Structure 1
Amino acid sequence: MAKNDFAQITTPAGEAVYPKLRSTEVFDGEDTGKYVCGIKLSKADTDKLIQRIENEWEMAKKSPDFDGKRYGRNSAPALGFHEDKDGDIVFKAKTNAVIKTKAGEVIEKTMAVFDKKGKPMDEEMEVGNGSTIRLCMLLRPFYASATVYGIQLLLKAVQVLNYVAPAAGAVSADDCGFDVEEEFDEDNPPFATSEGADF
Structure 2
Amino acid sequence: MNKIQYENIVTPAGRAIYPWLINPDTKFNALGEYKVSLSLLSSEAEPLIKKIDEAMEKAKALAPEGKKIKLQDPPYYNEVDVDEQETGNILFKFKSKAQIQTKDGKTVRISPKLFDAKGTLLRDVDDIWGGSKIKISADLAPYYVGAVGAGVSLRLKAVQIIELVKGGGNADSYGFEATEGYEASSEASQSGFDTADAQEDF
TM-score (norm 1): 0.75
- Which residue does 1:177 correspond to in 2? none
- What secondary structure does 1:51 align onto? helix
Match of 1:175 in 2: none
2:64 to 63, 67, 75: 67
What is residue 6 of structure 1 aligned with on the other side? 6
Counterpart of 1:58 in structure 2 is 57
Q: What is the match of residue 20 of structure 1?
A: 20
Correspondence 1:83 to 2:78: yes
Partner of 2:114: 113
State whether residues 39 and 90 of structure 1, in contact with CA within 8 Å, keep that contact through their aligned partners in structure 2.
Answer: yes
8 Å Cα contact 2:140-2:154 kept in structure 1: yes
Q: Which is bigger in relative contact order (C-alpha 8 A, separation at least 6)? A: 1
Coordinate RMSD, CA, aligned = 3.0
Report SS of the residue matched to 1:164: coil
Give the corresponding residue for 1:176: none
Does the 8 Å contact 1:142/1:150 carry over to 2?
yes
Contact 1:131 1:163 in 2 (8 A): yes
Answer yes or no: is the 8 Å Cα contact 1:116–1:160 preserved in 2.
yes
Looking at structure 2, the residues matched to 99 and 160 of structure 1 have their Cα atoms a distance apart, in angstroms, of 26
2:73 aligned partner, one-letter code? A
Instruction: Check conservation: 1:100, 1:107, Cα contact below 8 A.
Output: yes
Q: Does 1:41 align with 2:40?
A: yes
For 1:147 and 1:108, how far apart are their aligned partners in 2? 27
Q: Stretches of 4+ moved more than 6 A in 1?
A: none
Question: Percent sequence identity over matched residues?
Answer: 28
1:13, 1:194 within 8 Å by CA — same for their partners in 2? no
Indicate the residue corresponding to 1:155 in structure 2. Answer: 156
CA contact (8 A) 2:34 2:98 kept: yes
Q: Provide closer, same or farther for how the CA distance between residues 93 and 142 of structure 1 changes in structure 2, counting only shifts above 3 A.
A: same
User: What is the CA–CA distance in structure 2 between the aligned matches of 1:44 and 1:98, rounded to whole Å?
Assistant: 35
Which sections of structure 1, spanning at least 5 residues, go unmatched?
A: 173-182
**2-structure distance, mates of 1:186, 1:7:** 28
The structure whose residues are more often strand, as a share, is 2
Superposition deviation, residue 184 in structure 1: 11
Determine if contact 1:24/1:31 at 8 Å carries over to the other structure.
no
Q: Do the aligned partners of residues 2 and 113 (structure 1) sit closer, same or farther apart at CA in structure 2, a change above 3 Å counting?
A: farther
> How far apart are 1:31 and its partner, in Å?
5.0
Distance in 2, matches of 1:133 and 1:18, equals: 13
CA contact (8 A) 2:112 2:158 kept: yes
User: Relative to structure 1, is the Cα distance of residues 107 and 122 closer, same or farther in structure 2, using a 3 angstrom cutoff?
Assistant: same
Q: Which SS does the other structure have where 2:22 is aligned? A: coil
